[in-house]
Amino acid sequence: MSKTLESTRRHFLKISLATAGAAALPQGFALAQAPARYRRYNVTSPNGQKALASYAKGVQAMLNLPADHAQNWFRNAFIHLMDCPHGNWWFYVWHRGYLGYFEQTIRNLSGDPSFAMPYWDWTQLPQIPDSMFNGVLTPTDSAYTRFTKDIGTFTSFIQPSLKRYWAGLNSAQRAQLNARGYTSFDAMWNDVTGYTTTPPPPHVDPTNMAFAQTPIARYLTRQNPKLSPQVTYNVSPFMVYAGLLPTDFYDPINQISFNSSMTTSHNTPPSGSNVFATLEGFPHNSTHNYIGGVGPIPNGPWGNMTNNLSPVDPIFFLHHSNMDRLWDVWTRKQQALKLPYLPNAAQRPTYDKEPFLFYVNSDGRQVGPSIAREFISTARFQYDYEPGFGEAVVTQPSRALRMKHATATVKGLMKGNAATMTLSASQVNTHLAGGAPALIALVTLPRPTDASPKRDFDVLVGAPAEVTNVDANSPYYAGTIAFFGGMRHMPGMSGDATFIVPLPQRKEAFPNLLAAGAATKGVAVTIRVVPSGGGASVLKAATVRAM
């Protein structure tokens, strides 16, 4: 019996160490609703990594489809270029529909019937998840070269089929494209090439070029994966909590709404009169741009994520999965507070009836006329989210109050594959008491090779040096990191991987807490990562944050 319990606990911790927020938060937050059929996991969790393996298969399958196929990888990105709303109140709902159909496509093409799009919680992990540099999960991979080697190659591949597609558009679709400024195919294509006639003479403006050559398709690299300090602030706990704070879906008078401006059409290009709501204006925008190199690279051309052809970079869908998750968090917060979570009665007809005419379903067919109302609920695509950062606004606002004072990251000093860092005694005491902010560790370890028999690793906190094998009931046990083998087919499958692990809420894990001077000098904590079943630590780096 005890073995069963131990195994169960290990399994529980294995799947729940995904995010600090998830593990630190009380359960039972979900409001009454039909159970979701699919769960979108944090990409850093074992389940998220498993989903990522299926995602890679799906991306490869979409790359393999001919340009005339509506589910071809690049054709799918053109749906976004031709139809995406930004800076207006259809931003969330349109992307929910786009993501939902895309998720179904990946489910079909990957052969994984349980696939759901994982999310990248940049508040918890302000760097591109390591796995997103593997194979086709980065647009700089050689698999893209035959399409995006240069603009001529890309034009030859995609333009003929796009022109045929354009010629078949109906009048309603054309009207929406006109509203967008795409009054002809060439007008749209100019945003791909950067060609412009203003100011004369006609020239190519590299800052307005949606196409990105393979080598520069993503600025951030495995060796340089971190968001800049400025972008890290834009995705910080304070900014995200503030973005979840407004209680109006949209209020044109008070201006601080959850959504950006109401406009005449979701295709109305943003202009000076648009008010960007906090989450769209800051985390969304700056993450997009920095991944593509806006900021560090002068004058363009930049990577895919900087423009409306951004779905060419597979990170797009993890980024928007997180944005969609935050909309879901906000909705449940409103419900918990018994506040409206939709436009008011006067606004509702306008919002609901907005036509979305460009989606493609999992069979590769045009969805046909659909309207915004169809995509308001996550039930439309039968999914929910593994809890991530921000969940506290739904469950315990007072807890979130304290959590906003998340401390700076404490980096571990590495010695012999063990990391030691000094935490404040008050933080440790708060953590042990089950309060917030809770302490989490970001641990980096080398990904096992294909031939390695060891694929599960236990995270030990505060364990004496001679302890190299623990069970799930050990006070030093923080969780198990499991690597799945499903991504072995991908080239470049190597390097390190970073995971988020909540620290144990056991005093034994912090043996220095009672040492003399701990209150003033801090509490030294040591973290190791050992193969499950015993062995030497393989840890390469670790940091601890309070969230």
Residues that bind other proteins (CB under 8 A): 84, 86-87, 181, 196, 198, 205, 207-208, 229-231, 233-234, 238-239, 241-243, 245-248, 251, 254-256, 261, 269-278, 281-282, 284-286, 288-290, 294-300, 302, 306, 308, 333, 336-337, 339, 392-393, 397-401, 403-404
Closer residue to other proteins (CB): 393 or 442? 393
Which amino acid, 38?
Answer: Y
* Rounded distance between C-alpha atoms, residue 145 and residue 309, angstroms: 17
* Rounded distance between C-alpha atoms, residue 435 and residue 416, angstroms: 32
**Min separation Cβ 304 and other proteins, Å:** 13
Closer residue to other proteins (CB): 340 or 491? 340
HSE, CB side, 13 Å, CA atoms: give it for residue 256. 6
Closer residue to other proteins (CB): 105 or 289? 289
Scanning 85-206, the segments in alpha helix (DSSP H) are 91-110, 145-148, 151-167, 171-180, 185-193
**Min separation Cβ 86 and other proteins, Å:** 3
Scanning 456-547, the segments in alpha helix (DSSP H) are 518-521
Closer residue to other proteins (CB): 4 or 271? 271
Max CA distance (Å), the chain: 80
Closer residue to other proteins (CB): 214 or 261? 261
8 A C-beta contact, residue 539 and residue 444: yes
Closer residue to other proteins (CB): 274 or 417? 274
Tokens of 32: 């009454």
**Min separation Cβ 87 and other proteins, Å:** 6
**Min separation Cβ 68 and other proteins, Å:** 28
**Min separation Cβ 468 and other proteins, Å:** 41
Closer residue to other proteins (CB): 50 or 545? 545
DSSP designation for 281: I
* Rounded distance between C-alpha atoms, residue 476 and residue 461, angstroms: 5
**Min separation Cβ 290 and other proteins, Å:** 8
* Rounded distance between C-alpha atoms, residue 58 and residue 52, angstroms: 10
**Min separation Cβ 84 and other proteins, Å:** 7
Beta strands in 331-465 (DSSP E): 355-356, 370-371, 383-385, 410-411, 413-415, 418-423, 439-446, 456-461
Closer residue to other proteins (CB): 58 or 237? 237
Q: What are phi and psi of 140, to 5 degrees?
A: -90, 0
Q: What are phi and psi of 440, to 5 degrees?
A: -130, 155
**Min separation Cβ 502 and other proteins, Å:** 20
> What is the bridge-based pairing of β-strands 383-385 and 38-40?
parallel
**Min separation Cβ 367 and other proteins, Å:** 22
In DSSP terms, 529 is beta-bridged to 459
Which amino acid, 160?
Answer: P
Closer residue to other proteins (CB): 38 or 89? 89
**Min separation Cβ 195 and other proteins, Å:** 11
Residue among 245, 260, 256, 242 nearest 351 (CA): 260
Closer residue to other proteins (CB): 138 or 259? 259
HSE, CB side, 13 Å, CA atoms: give it for residue 62. 31
